[in-house]
Structure 1
Amino acid sequence: MTSHQTTQTMKPATAAKKLGVYLEATPAEFQEGVVSRAELTALQADPPAWLQELRRNGPHPRPVVAARLGISIAGLARGGVTEALTTEQIDALKQDDPEWLRRERATQAEVRKEAVRIKEKNAERSAQSPGPRS
């Protein structure tokens, strides 16, 4: 019995997500084909000019926009941002610093503080509890 190694492939949307780029802004040949794991690894290791340009200037997908603004994806939606934004648009939003963005950043800071508190509490609890009994 021989085993045949099959090449794992993924849809362009999955590959774009893993690369952190907006699928609709990628070249047509990327959008229409399938991407193998080896191709994805090659794109990550040595990004072509189009990928470098997209990462630098966008348009960026919502997770990237949210991260660059320091808020959650849900916060983007609450702020009315539903489309991909370019780096220039993100910088303009930061410059304008609208009320909704300040509010969402404060919310995100509270979420992070709470996550740290819970992590510390769990670490403290596991340090105090005895190991398994034999």
Structure 2
Amino acid sequence: MSEVKSCAIFNGHELKDIPVINPGDWFGKTWLVEIGGSYWPLFLIVEADTIQDAIDELAGNEKYGHNIIVSEDDLADYDAETCNYGPSGQVIDLDHLMIHGAEGTETPFPCRYFGDGLPKDGMNPTKFCYRD
């Protein structure tokens, strides 16, 4: 299957073609991750059990993790005792990160998945099962 994308309503605005990280790996528990710091934020849907798990999935993602992982050139600007760390011990910067969704619900941030092989009108993430 090709890359899974999502669409959702956020504060009354329709978001389309949102990349999905970790589709099908946590029973459809989706979170909307917003990475700011520019004119237009980057939105991602991350499937994970908790907010912390969503941060870990993002930090470990090959394509999008660089948005929160601190580059080696900038590590001196971070205090090793108070900074945040990703799942592989990398320093991560969460200053421009927001995560939207309701803890303790089946689908913390409701959305629909789209992609090759999925129904034209999309699929509820709780029904999606990723297979290579």
* Bin for the TM-score computed over the shorter chain: under 0.3
Q: Which has the larger radius of gyration?
A: 1
Q: Which is bigger in relative contact order (C-alpha 8 A, separation at least 6)?
A: 2
By percentage of residues, which structure has more strand? 2
Normalised TM-score (structure 2)? 0.24
